[in-house]
Structure 1
């Protein structure tokens, strides 16, 4: 399939990240049209569609999928709905971009992958760090052999504080399924060709210790061993008071690459109070290029039928580590992965 005109996109889910993706399609991509938005919350789709000039707004997913003008959908609903929507969209013949995580069980991941394969539609998953310039250049250096064989790999996510969410409303294991899932994909991507063989995880409620006995986790450290001998560490915390901190590092037999910086730029202020830097405070500011680039790649996948970004299989591989983390924390043991 090759399409020369702008591609028609429908958005499913008009929340925070969905609204940002809608803005990207409508205002940042020159070769895509935002033609429809669906959200079950009364007025949510209509309001966002009016702001962005999208001609169609629905409260029903089936109505959006029945729109024959739509060639691809961007799924940005709560995670528990992702798999069923991927399947319905694929069965309707729509190309699919799904926010992470694509699924919460391996069975659902397989179901989503199979639906896309049966429908012969592209399936891309939203691991936006791959599109960040620093991370992309780090992977290129690894591919070029500039650091030798990877030995130690690190990825971290520290969300900006203060933490003001209600822990009672956060699904259990969110720190693995929705936060560290990015880091798991990053570790796999920065160690090309290697497979994880065992996972050890520890987690606790250090930001909100009053919710520790309710199964809430806001802090975690994960160790992953790979079949090429390399060892990786991922860590997350929900409250970095100094800003939104996303970093990666790969140390190898011949050198090292580091990626990411909490500082907004290399500008440093020197004044009567000392030395200071402004820091990133929102993911949509830090990764605006990455978020846009991944949707541009999705549009190209619709044009060509070839997915160059993270696939359903990539999402399944990251999920396998997340599930192993849940088992490791629950049973206080190292979990071996079956490849």
Structure 2
């Protein structure tokens, strides 16, 4: 296998550009070859800002290129299944951003396609590559807080959702778009799969969505029991305005671990107006290093022919929980997985 892999980013939005910048400058043994976006203005501006020449409006055309060895799929979720299966059939390795797909069947088809074509499949749960999350996992495994009995994870975003996200048929809602990371966090720290979930939700901040998308919610709380009888709580919200908020609490029989803070820096200013401290305003800032570590691991997995740390099964389990949570919201019942 060649030692310098050509990478194509399919989807030139915010997350796509994070990956693109990494592969353009900072990932060893990888070279950013092209961008894909159906909006030519977006694709052209992305390639210009990255200092590369090639873009495609159709991912199928990109997959024909021998220059491209691997793709990063960063499109709306509803398109993931078709793109990843096509990429696998074209012999391209795949890093697929979360959520993996819309339902379990699509996830299984993705896994099967990558296995049949002997290509790597990594799912974009970048928090597993964050130094604080890694340290917390090590503390758990060392027994420093005894047996873990409960994990509480929250993610709240400051911005109003993009219009397509209001349609749960295309996005699966905030449980998918925002809380997929929390779902994976609970599975990873508790070392087990979800057994049952109960979720409640409501739309409190996005009145513009209520008439056309009455099932859209911008606030959700999900309680869970795991196959090892441990407990989990997820708190998710969008359009909170105050900043990007990502925190975790891991409760054990002999202690507790906290991850994250609302503040971006440790600078604290005091004057006649009172106290002020910068608030974290974006996931792109908070998890910048984790995205890079994730991208580096993807290339290493290909070159060293090893299984990625975050695989298709992890993606499928998160999708399963998203759908169970949405069903619980709709029916008002506990849902068994």
TM-score by length of 1: 0.93
| Alignment correspondent of 1:223 | 223
Distance 1:191 1:274 in 2: 41
Secondary structure at 2:143's aligned position in 1? coil
How far did residue 169 of structure 1 move? 5.8
1:206: how far off? 1.5
1:44, 1:264 → 2: CA distance?
30
User: What residue number does 1:247 align with?
Assistant: 247
Tell me the residue number matched to 1:91: 89
**Aligned residue for 2:141?**
143
**RMSD of Structure 2 on Structure 1 (CA):** 1.7
Matched position secondary structure for 2:179: helix
> How many residues end up aligned between the 2 structures?
332
SS of the residue corresponding to residue 40 of structure 2 reads: coil
In 1, Cα distance between equivalents of 2:106 and 2:48: 34
For residues 271-291 of structure 1, the C-alpha deviation after alignment (integer angstroms, 9 at most, x for no partner) is: 222222101111111111111
Q: What is residue 120 of structure 2 aligned with on the other side?
A: 122
Checking the alignment, whether the CA contact within 8 Å between 1:36 and 1:54 is kept in structure 2 is yes
Counterpart position of 2:167: 171
Distance 2:333 2:210 in 1: 19
Question: Quick one: distance in 2 between partners of 1:167 and 1:56?
Answer: 28
Q: How does 1:178-327 map to 2 (within 5 A)?
A: 178-192=177-191, 194-209=192-207, 211-212=209-210, 214-327=214-327
The answer to whether the Cα contact below 8 Å between 1:86 and 1:112 also exists between their aligned partners in 2 is yes
Asked if 1 retains the 8 angstrom alpha-carbon contact of 2:120 and 2:308, the reply is no
Runs (5+) with no aligned partner, structure 2:
none
| Aligned-residue offset at 1:266 | 2.0
Match of 1:159 in 2: 157
Shift of 1:48: 1.6
Cα drift, residue 149 of structure 1: 1.2
From the superposition, tell whether residues 176 and 262 of structure 1 become closer, same or farther in structure 2 (CA, over 3 Å): same
Runs of 4+ in structure 1 over 3 Å off: 165-169, 209-213
What is the Cα deviation at residue 82 of structure 1?
A: 0.6
SS for the counterpart of 2:257 is strand
- The CA deviation string for residues 139-168 of structure 1, in whole angstroms up to 9 with x for no partner, is 11112221221111100011125x4x5667
1:33 paired residue number: 31
